C-alpha cells in the first residue's frame, strides 16, 4: 500500500480548479509511490473558499496561507496564487520543510526566483514549477524523437502562444495587467510556457533580441468601470534568439490575436526531419521524415494515444483522446513520485529561474533595442 502525502493548496480559482481536479483524479489512474490526501484549501474570501472546499472534496479550508504552511501535518504545498505571492509562500514553505509545487512563472523577477532556488536548496525539499505542457504525450514523444536523433541537427524552434481575451479595451485592469502582481504580461503569462518548451525540447538559450508592446495603455478598474488605471505590462512580445546547440529561436506570445483562444503552435526543423504541434489538436504530432521516398514525402499525422506513449496507457484505449486537464494530472503524478523518492524532477525551481533569466533578457533587449546575452 502506497504511503499518503497531505496536500495544502493555496488559491482556488482557475488553477485551483485545474489542480484540485488533478489531485482528485491522479491516484485513480496512476499507480503512485505515494497517494495524495486533499487536506486543506486556502483562499482569502471565506464563503468562496468554503464552497470550493465542498465542491472539490478538500477536508477543510483556511483563509490565511500561513496556516497551511505552518501546519505540521501537511507534506505538500501547492501554490496557485498570482505571481507576486509565489516567492513569499514558497520560501516560507521551504523553511517549514514542505515539498512545493508552484505555478508559473516562478516569480516576479530573477531576484525573487534566485531567493526561491536558494530556499529550496537550503531546505533540501522537492520542488517543481507547473509547466504542465511538458507533460502532453505528443510533446514527450517530440522530445524522445529529438533525443533519438530523428530530426538530426536542429535548425529552427518556432513557437507561438496566442490568445485574444484582452482585445476588448474595456476588459478590466485585473492582476494579470499590473506589473506589481504579474511581473510581466504576455511574456510571463504565456511566453514562459513556450520558453520552457524551448528549453525542454531544444536546449539552453544563449542570446535574444525582442520587442514588446502594450497596445491598450489604460483600462477600467475592476471595482469601478468609470475610472481607469494604467496597464503596466506588455500585451504582446516577439523575440528571436539562439540556442547553445546552434539552433535559431523565433517566439511570439500575445493576448491580442483575435480568434486564437489558447493556441500554442510549435514547429521544429532539423537536418533529417521536422515536427509540428498545435495545442488545439493536442493529441497529434506531425512528423516529416526527409528520408522517405521522394514520391511519399509529406507530414505524417501521429495520433499520440497508443499504449506505448508516456501517460497515454494510464487513461483510455487508443484514439480516446486526452485534454487540457490531463496535463495537470500527469504533472502531479510525477511530482508525487518525486516527493516519495525525495528527488525533484524537471521542471524544478532551477528551471523556473532559468526561464526567468531568459524573460529578463528579452525585457532588457526590448528596452535597449539590442541583442542581450542570456
Ligand atoms: N500552468 C498554466 O497553464 C497556468 C494557467 C493559468 C494560470 N497559471 C498561473 O497560476 C497562478 C494563478 O493564476 P489563476 O489564473 O488561477 O488566477 P486566478 O485569479 O484565477 O486565481 C488566483 C487565486 O489566488 C488566490 N489568492 C490571491 N492572493 C492570495 C493570497 N495572498 N492568499 C491566498 N490566496 C490568494 C485568489 O483568491 C484566487 O483563488 C498564476 O501564477 C498564473 O500565472 C498557470
For 4-33, how does the pLDDT look when each residue is reduced to its tens digit (9 = 90+)?
999 999 999 999 999 999 999 999 999 999
pLDDT at residue 1 greater than cutoff 90: no
Q: Would you say the CB of residue 331 lies under 6 angstroms from ligand 1? A: no
Q: How far is the CA of 358 from the centre of ligand 1 (A)?
A: 22
Please give the pLDDT value at position 143.
98
174 CA closest ligand 1 atom index:
19
Q: How far is the CA of 129 from the centre of ligand 1 (A)?
A: 14
- Probe residue for ligand 1, chosen from 15, 47, 104, 183 as the CB with the greatest number of ligand atoms within 8 Å: 15
For range 190-211, the mean pLDDT: 98
Please give the pLDDT value at position 358.
98
pTM above 0.95, yes or no: yes
Q: Would you say the CB of residue 65 lies under 6 angstroms from ligand 1? A: yes
For range 274-296, the mean pLDDT: 97
Please give the pLDDT value at position 322.
98
**DSSP characters for 142-185?**
HHHHHHTTTT-SEEEEEEEEE--TT-STTS---GGG-HHHHSSS
Separation of CA 102 from chain center: 10
For range 182-204, the mean pLDDT: 98
Q: How far is the CA of 80 from the centre of ligand 1 (A)?
A: 4
Beta bridge partners of 230: 218
Please give the pLDDT value at position 349.
98
Please give the pLDDT value at position 297.
95
Instruction: Report the interhelical angle of 192-201 vs 349-368 (nearest 10°).
Output: 120
Please give the pLDDT value at position 72.
97
63 CA closest ligand 1 atom index:
33
Contact 120, 127 (CB under 8 A): yes
Q: What is the largest CA-CA distance in the chain?
A: 66
Among 284, 249, 252, 240, residue whose Cα is nearest residue 154? 249
Q: Would you say the CB of residue 11 lies under 6 angstroms from ligand 1? A: yes
Q: How far is the CA of 146 from the centre of ligand 1 (A)?
A: 33
Q: How far is the CA of 83 from the centre of ligand 1 (A)?
A: 7
Q: How far is the CA of 298 from the centre of ligand 1 (A)?
A: 42
337-354: per-residue pLDDT in tens? 999 999 999 999 999 999
Q: Would you say the CB of residue 10 lies under 6 angstroms from ligand 1? A: yes
pLDDT at residue 95 greater than cutoff 60: yes
pLDDT at residue 179 greater than cutoff 60: yes
Place of cell 505515494: 34
Going by alpha carbons, the residue nearest to atom 6 of ligand 1 is 15
Give the percent of the chain with pLDDT over 90.
99
Please give the pLDDT value at position 2.
62
226-253: per-residue pLDDT in tens? 999 999 999 999 999 999 999 999 999 9
Q: Write down the mean pLDDT value for the chain.
A: 97
Q: How far is the CA of 132 from the centre of ligand 1 (A)?
A: 15
Amino acid at each position: 500500500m502506497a504511503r499518503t502525502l497531505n496536500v495544502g493548496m493555496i488559491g482556488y480559482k482557475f488553477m485551483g480548479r485545474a489542480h484540485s481536479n488533478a489531485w482528485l483524479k491522479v491516484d485513480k489512474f496512476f499507480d503512485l509511490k505515494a497517494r495524495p490526501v486533499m487536506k486543506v484549501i486556502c483562499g482569502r474570501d471565506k464563503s468562496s473558499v468554503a464552497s470550493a472546499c465542498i465542491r472539490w472534496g478538500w477536508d477543510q479550508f483556511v483563509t490565511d496561507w500561513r496556516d497551511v504552511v505552518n501546519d505540521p501535518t501537511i507534506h505538500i504545498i501547492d501554490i496557485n496564487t498570482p505571481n507576486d505571492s509565489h516567492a513569499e509562500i514558497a520560501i516560507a514553505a521551504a523553511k517549514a520543510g514542505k515539498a512545493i509545487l508552484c505555478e508559473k512563472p516562478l516569480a516576479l523577477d530573477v531576484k525573487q526566483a534566485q531567493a526561491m532556488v536558494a530556499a529550496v536548496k537550503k531546505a533540501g525539499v522537492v520542488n517543481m514549477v507547473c509547466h504542465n505542457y511538458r507533460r502532453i504525450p505528443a510533446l514527450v514523444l517530440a522530445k524522445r524523437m529529438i533525443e533519438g536523433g530523428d530530426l538530426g541537427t536542429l535548425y529552427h524552434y518556432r513557437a507561438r502562444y496566442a490568445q485574444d481575451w484582452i482585445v476588448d479595451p474595456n476588459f478590466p485592469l485585473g492582476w494579470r495587467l499590473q506589473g506589481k502582481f504579474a511581473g510581466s504580461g504576455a511574456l510571463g503569462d504565456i511566453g514562459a510556457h513556450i520558453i520552457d518548451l524551448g528549453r525542454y525540447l531544444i536546449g539552453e538559450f544563449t542570446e535574444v533580441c525582442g520587442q514588446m508592446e502594450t497596445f491598450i495603455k489604460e483600462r477600467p478598474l475592476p471595482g469601478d468601470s468609470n475610472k481607469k488605471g494604467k496597464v503596466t505590462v506588455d500585451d504582446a512580445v516577439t523575440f528571436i534568439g539562439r540556442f547553445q546547440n546552434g539552433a535559431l529561436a523565433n517566439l511570439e506570445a500575445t493576448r491580442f490575436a483575435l480568434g486564437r483562444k489558447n493556441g500554442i503552435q510549435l514547429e521544429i526543423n532539423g537536418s533529417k526531419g521536422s515536427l509540428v504541434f498545435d495545442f488545439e489538436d493536442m493529441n497529434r504530432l506531425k512528423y516529416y521524415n526527409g528520408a522517405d521516398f521522394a514520391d511519399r514525402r509529406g507530414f505524417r499525422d501521429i495520433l499520440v494515444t497508443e499504449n506505448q506513449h508516456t501517460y497515454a496507457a494510464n487513461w483510455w484505449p487508443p484514439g480516446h483522446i486526452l485534454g487540457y486537464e490531463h496535463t495537470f494530472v500527469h504533472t502531479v503524478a510525477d511530482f508525487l513520485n518525486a516527493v516519495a523518492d525525495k528527488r525533484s524532477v524537471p521542471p524544478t525551481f532551477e528551471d523556473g529561474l532559468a526561464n526567468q533569466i531568459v524573460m529578463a533578457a528579452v525585457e532588457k533587449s526590448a528596452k535597449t533595442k539590442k541583442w542581450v546575452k542570456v
